[in-house]
Structure 1
């Protein structure tokens, strides 16, 4: 089968999923150790993230909070997109996927230390771009027990046959 036919078949596979929530990931507790490790790796040592005593006294949140980019960096785990079966089950006929980027990212609510978060994924669109299929996912990272999400992002992936 040629590339054009593989792309057409894959787009046909995705068509019924457009606008649909296709995945809800597991809850993950964000502890201080994870926040501290992220701070050490990125060099972002702002007290609101790494100083629990000061954050308890001075922060409007009453505790340390996760970096927004920490929350964003957890997308592969939260979406389970690196699980061994994920690719085969979700991208039939495709050989590999690349992270193409993000169109829009917002952090509406802070993730306080000890909070649990999870990702919900919706397929917004899918289209052929050259010899690939570009999928735009809307990913919302919920905070357990909160009304506002921790993060909302438009994630672009390109898949190649």
Structure 2
């Protein structure tokens, strides 16, 4: 008679280990969804009407704005963005809506504008440095370039003994 092995048979152990490895690998490739800013409700955003609403009614309907215009307080901005991200990659915008509500000096709504992803700029930096106009100095010129420049001791640049 064969003696019973107290350990599990090798085949089920391999299947369990392979299943755990597959689960760990799949969790690293998970797609993450994110939402930032104002939560858009189409019924509420379409309810804001120029000539009918004012600043107070807009705040009661939509809530406080994400931010107010930089140069005057006659513009409210409501910003909403949805992003997706694979594992450790940089989040990518999938949908975006910017609702701009403009007011006249009396506080009445003049216009309501909506924009989406079409106005998002894509910036591609050039490596680790920013190109600039001017002199290109070496490492040693940066370190030793000011030796003998204005204000050196004994050159009459300071007020000695006064």
- Structure (1 or 2) with the greater helix fraction: 1
Q: Give the number of the structure with larger relative contact order, counting CA–CA contacts within 8 Å between residues 6 or more apart.
A: 1
Of structures 1 and 2, the larger Rg is shown by: 2
Normalized against structure 2, the TM-score is what? 0.23
- Structure (1 or 2) with the greater strand fraction: 1
